[in-house]
Amino acid sequence: MTRLLVRLFIKEGDKTGDPDVRQVYGVLSGGVGIACNLLLFLGKLVLGFVTGAISIVADAVNNLSDAGSSIITLLGFKMAGKPADHGHPYGHGRIEYLSALFISVAIILMGVELLKSSAERILNPAETSVSLVVFVILIASILVKLWMFLFNRKLGQRINSSAMEATALDSISDSLATLVVLIGMAINYFTGYDLDGYMGVIVAAFILITGIKSAKDSVQPLIGAPPDEGFVEKIHRIVMSHPEIRGMHELLIHDYGPAHADVSLHVEMSSQLDMVTAHEIITSIEDELKSQCHCDVTIHIDPVVEEKTKDQ
């Protein structure tokens, strides 16, 4: 299903380093998230009011917050894809990280509210009614959320997006939370014990744990996380593949958002090379890095004095 949606809505989907392609991935993820979560919200809200179950209503409101998160994801990718301008010479890529952080904060706030509502239900129990329709809808919701988890994780891995990974984590947390509600409804149906408030507390705990973990992952690149080891190794491999390069050091990578890196490094070259030849080699390496690593590159030459052989 994921491959089909990518083929239908994303042209040149393999060019994941292209900011325009990334933006379309974000729009697809956000659009699917909005549609699915709104449908789940409406279904669970009606079900919650009919049964009187606070845990189902809480789960419904959680889906509504997920729809809002999908809107933030969509807008975040749209804004992150804007080109550099006078006020933002390095582009707007970090907006994607901010959108992931906003999603995390929304998840945490929702978890707190649901925790309060569930605690109130424990203190003031109310009768709930359970039927087979409840089980069918909750099971369908779990399956939809599991698919959304796989969908967003796949897209997130393709374009290395923290926002999509946060959305994927939220989906798996939602499926677990709905499973808890389902278990509570099953206990009520078969034994008569009403654990609605307690199930709501567990749902809230799932949501809070997911939100806190997602927030931590979102903040890391904003405050300056170490560069990805694979990215560093790729740069080193490309630079050192040129026989004229004796060594490289002082590699600095500044992350201005996914596919918006600014790279600078020093390379060692023989002092016997004339300036024109050295410049052509460096230009070739810079073009290669820009093409394969999707980054802006500045390379400084450190001349290495080599002893001439007798033939020279």
Looking up residue 242, the CATH number of its domain turns out to be 3.30.70.1350
pLDDT band at 265; cut points 50, 70, 90 = very high
Looking up residue 104, the CATH number of its domain turns out to be 1.20.1510.10
pLDDT recorded at residue 259: 62
**Last residue within a domain, chosen from 171, 198, 223:** 223
Number of domains in the chain: 2
Q: What is the mean pLDDT of residues 176-195?
A: 84
pTM given for the model? 0.63
Same domain for 2 and 151, yes or no, is: yes
Ranking 62-66, 253-257, 278-282, 293-297 by mean pLDDT, the lowest is: 62-66
Per-residue pLDDT tens for 205-251? 877 887 888 788 778 777 777 877 888 999 999 999 999 999 999 99
Same domain for 195 and 236, yes or no, is: no
Q: What is the mean pLDDT of residues 127-156?
A: 88
| Domain hosting residue 118, numbered range | 1-223
Sheet holding 261-270, edge to edge: 245-255, 261-270, 295-304
| Inter-residue contact 42 to 57 (CB < 8 Å) | no
For residue 5, being part of any structural domain is answered with yes
pLDDT recorded at residue 282: 94
Residue 152: is it exposed, middle or buried by C-beta count within 10 angstroms (0-12/13-18/19+)?
buried
pLDDT band at 258; cut points 50, 70, 90 = low
